[in-house]
Amino acid sequence: MIEHGIGVVLISPSGFPATAKLMFTYTNNVAQYEAFILALQISIDKNIRVLKVFGDSTLVVYQLRGEWETRDSKFIHYQTYVHGLIKEFDDVQFCNFPIEEYQLADALATLAAMFKVGSETKVQPIKLRVKDSPAHHAGVELGTVGELWYVDIKRYLQYQQYLDCTC
């Protein structure tokens, strides 16, 4: 069986990411419902009362908002389940945004699919650092003041001599 993952990012002061592995066959829209359910369940566990949920599936977002009719029976069951979870909140909004803005959740989903873990395995948080410069700069010697950078190469080509240096 091919294993796939879903990712959820809860943006809060602590910035809590979560991921899950789906061990069953599903469509992209089912995965979106599963991701929304994961976000809602984690939020309930953390006693979050107001929630804005973003997803990249226009179909699922509009179905959960009640703006589009849900005809597929599997989606009707998911929708009913999600609306049951929503009762635990003071306010929940479902919002749509393009998949290219969904990078962290997508990365979490990829990680979930790659790792072989048990059903309730806890993985330590990942800290991502952005570095503007390398940790080590390769040593580059400056030439004599006034000489062009290629003087040593030219000298070698003309005289087959390396620069005298005790490097």
Instruction: Give the orientation angle of helix 73-86 with respect to helix 28-45, to 10 degrees.
Output: 20
Question: Which tokens sit at 160?
Answer: 């087959």
- Each residue's pLDDT tens digit, 32-55: 888 888 889 988 988 989 888 888
- Each residue's pLDDT tens digit, 85-97: 999 999 999 988 7
Q: From the CB of residue 53, how many other CB atoms can be counted at a distance below 10 Å? A: 19
Split at pLDDT 50, 70, 90, the class of 1 is very low
d(CA 135, CA 19): 31
d(CA 41, CA 33): 12
Amino acid at 64: L
- Indicate the pTM of the whole model: 0.59
Domains, the chain, ordered by start: 4-114 (3.30.420.10)
CB 94 within 8 A of CB 36: yes
Split at pLDDT 50, 70, 90, the class of 56 is confident
Dihedral (C-alpha) 7, 8, 11, 16: value to the nearest 10 degrees? -80
Give the whole-number percent of the chain exceeding pLDDT 70: 54
Strand pairing category for 50-55 and 91-96: parallel
Split at pLDDT 50, 70, 90, the class of 76 is very high
d(CA 160, CA 59): 71
Cα angle vertex 17, ends 93, 41, to 5°? Answer: 50
DSSP at 68: S
* 60 sits in which H/E element: helix 58-65
Q: From the CB of residue 167, how many other CB atoms can be counted at a distance below 10 Å? A: 6
